[in-house]
Chain A
Amino acid sequence: MKIEILYPHHCNLFGDLSNMDYLKKCLPQAQFVETHLNQEPLFVREKVDMVYLGPMTERTQELVLERLRPYKDRLWELVGQNTLFLFTGNALELMGEYIVKDDGSRINCLGIFPLYAKRDMMHRHNSIFLGSFQGQPVMGFKSQFTMAFPKSKDLELFPVEKGVGLNKKCSFEGIRHGNFFGTYLLGPILLLNPPFTRHLLQCLGAGDVPLALEEEVQAAYEKRLADFKAKA
């Protein structure tokens, strides 16, 4: 099993690489490949089982877009082949149509999914989120300058129970298309949400492999969930 981590030195702002560290513990036999900005992604030349991309600064976003643009068709092909993708934070915006900057200008994105994002660098949005995935609670933290505006409800990932979705009026957080998962939830989302992680492992073909630190992660999830329900 091959898992490609795209640009880990640049796309890791909020402890996000912990998701990959956790997968390494869950899947000790898997091969993790790090691709850096000056390298061609592994998914271009061979089939990988999963591609991960974390949040990045606004300037890095433009740099990463230019690195990925030549491989837009290949990305679309892999999405169509049900390759597992996990894009967290503003990484999900790259798969949309464009990003509107503060001055009204646009950055053209890969145009794979029908959504756009709008930046507001003067107002940072911070919130806690409680939603669900296949009937199980999902929770996380949001801290971002952008909101995304999907053009189709078919992209829904996590229906909102408490908190803010892709934008303040959107009824869902994150986007999903087949095995492409993109969410603004930051940081160690796989450690924070064992039911969601179990589903991703199944998508990877790992079956019912036990989670690493399963008891502790589950106990932390339940304690946190009580807090989210009380305070979100």
Chain B
Amino acid sequence: MKRSLRFYLALFFAKGTARVMKLVGRKGTSMPGSWAIILCPDFLGRMPRPKTVIGITGTNGKTTVSNLVEDVLTQCDYDFVCNRAGTNVATGVASSLIANSTLLGKPKKDLAVFELDERSSPRILPFLKPDILLVTNLFRDSYKRNAHVEFIQDILNTYIPDSTRLVLNADDLLCASLKPDNRRVFFGIDPLPGEKTGLPNIVQDVRTCPHCGEPLEWDLRRYHHVGRAHCPRCGFSSPQPKYRVTALDKRHSRMTTQGVEGPQEFTLPNTSLINVYNALSAVSLLAEFGLTKDRIAQCMERLTIVESRYNEEEVGGRKLILHLAKGQNPIACSQACGNARQYPGKKAVLLFLDDAHDAAHSVENTSWLYDTDFELLNDPSVVQVVTAGPRHWDSYVRLLMAGIPQERLAHEEDPLEAAQLLELTQPDAVFVLYDLYSVDLSKQVKAKLHERLGTVPPKERVSQEEEGAGDEN
């Protein structure tokens, strides 16, 4: 698209807005991009793009993977623009491009790495035309925004440009079937020694063969619809990945991958299955971008997960674990429940999963609670579950429906008061599962629990050799 007078007006106004925002000390805002798109609706199509654009999308893990990829590229001395400090929708991408441009809009940097909201694809992908696009996975997400996975799959199939090279999850058949005519590579995790079928999940969005409709046979189902499957009738099967995890050493936080250049070991910031997929997808994307496996491995030695997503510390011999669970996202929340269950020792769990934004303006749709595997918390090792938030009665009923004995449950509207209801002498670990909109509140709850844990008699730590740390999405 040509640059029009309207485009330049929008660009200058957006740059002026960015300058004002900087002067008043506000960083990472998407306001310049919002103004640019309001003034020139096809702004992204007219804005010159950097020479190379990498996109990272998918339902879960895209923030973590984007951070990993950006950290590796930074360590490799790449100079690039990204939307890490802003938002992953069209206005955030536009703001980043504006910040990275000269007065007349020419890109200052040749490389861009953007985390992209999959629901926003129609407003971004046809204009940005990523050279490489990583899709981490496709799952149910917010019913209000994302409807259902078929809808998101259709959006991606419609708006991913034919020229975009794809890096896809071979172990997720919804993801693997995107844009079949595009150039593509797959990543996946081999069945690992001793690996068993995953815990049962309520939601499993792939059950039948996409070609003939016959029920699929699962060679290995890890969680929800992630795993390896084949069709007994027509021969359809999960694709063979180019990048494969062939071994996982949880004790030393390392994975071994097999790619075109032979085997390579990588350090993992977190060894939960979800984060192994996240790390593998980052490695696959970086390799496709052109980095050598040795260089990627060297950079990954120093990477960590952002603290606001997963934080673990020890107080008086007990673990205090803050774990982002993403309300209204039943898959991410189920993973968090699974991680709490699988953590060694006895656990107490505090949930505050209500959407604070919804609570302020409306009544939150609580249907997602019934797609979330709270049944995973119905385990003898989970000695107490306390639920909090405006919909605490609804989540309490949900926990009862999950079969958790009433004597192990408590509920209270205020999360800080709910933290008081936790019995802290018995558990070896206290999990706080919180929604994305409650990050600040989670810090207050953490401070309160920290103080309380400091007053109970110390406990000897349980061995954590068998299991790795938790997960975030």
Partners in one complex: yes
B-contacting residues of A (Cβ < 8 Å)? Answer: 9-10, 13-18, 21-22, 25, 36-38, 57-60, 121, 124, 126, 128, 141, 143, 145, 186-188, 191-192, 213, 216-217, 219-220, 223-224, 227-228, 231-232
15 interchain pairs, CB-CB under 8 A: A14-B367, A15-B368, A18-B401, A37-B208, A38-B213, A57-B151, A58-B150, A59-B150, A126-B144, A128-B362, A128-B363, A143-B365, A187-B370, A216-B393, A231-B363
Give the complex CA separation of A145 and B151 in angstroms.
11
Known contacts A124-B145, A232-B363; 15 additional CB pairs below 8 A are A15-B330, A15-B370, A25-B401, A38-B215, A141-B366, A143-B143, A188-B369, A191-B401, A216-B393, A216-B397, A220-B393, A220-B394, A224-B391, A224-B394, A227-B363
6 nearest A-B pairs in the assembled complex, by CB-CB distance: A187-B367, A15-B370, A18-B370, A220-B393, A141-B365, A57-B150
**In the bound complex, how far is the Cα of B148 from the Cα of A220, in angstroms?**
27
- Number of contacting residues on B, CB 8 A? 33
Give the Cβ gap from A73 to chain B, nearest Cβ, in Å.
26
Chain A residues in 8 Å Cβ range of B397: 191, 213, 216-217, 220
Contact partner of A15 (CB less than 8 A), chosen from B215, B363, B371, is: B371
Which of A58, A60, A128, A223 meets B393, CB within 8 Å?
A223
Q: Which residues of A contact B368 (CB under 8 A)?
A: 14-15, 187
Cβ contact of B367, chosen from A25, A121, A186, cutoff 8 A = A186
| B243 close to chain A: CB less than 8 A | no
Closest partner residue, chain B, to A139 (CB atom): B363
Which residues of chain A come closer than 8 Å to B361, judged between CB atoms? 231
In the complex, chain A residues whose CB is within 8 Å of the CB of B394: 220, 224
Nearest-neighbor residue (CB-CB) of B360 within chain A: A231
* Contact residue among A143, A213, A231 (Cβ-Cβ distance under 8 Å from B144): A143
Distance A3 CA – B421 CA, assembled complex (angstroms): 41
Asked if B396 and A186 make an inter-chain contact with CB atoms under 8 angstroms apart, the answer reads no
Whether A187 contacts B366 by the Cβ 8 Å rule is: yes
The chain B residues found within 8 Å of chain A, CB to CB, are 140, 143-145, 147-148, 150-151, 202, 204, 207-208, 213, 215, 330, 361-363, 365-371, 390-391, 393-394, 396-397, 400-401
Q: How far is the CA of A14 from the CA of B148 in the complex (A)?
A: 9
A224 near B393 with CB under 8 A, answer yes
Indicate which residue in A60, A143, A187 contacts B147 across the interface (CB closer than 8 Å): A143
Chain B residue contacts of A224, Cβ below 8 A: 363, 391, 393-394
Interface centre among A22, A216, A217 (most CB of B within 10 A): A216
- Among candidates A60, A121, A216, A228, residue contacting B363 with C-beta atoms closer than 8 Å: A228
Min CB gap A22→B, angstroms: 7
Q: How far is the CB of B215 from chain A (nearest CB, A)?
A: 8
* Shortest distance between the CB of B211 and any CB in chain A (Å): 14
- Bound together, the chains give a CA A139 to CA B148 distance in angstroms of 23
Report Cα–Cα, A193/B204, bound state, in Å.
27
CB nearest neighbor in A for B140 = A13
Chain B residues with Cβ under 8 A from A121's Cβ?
A: 151
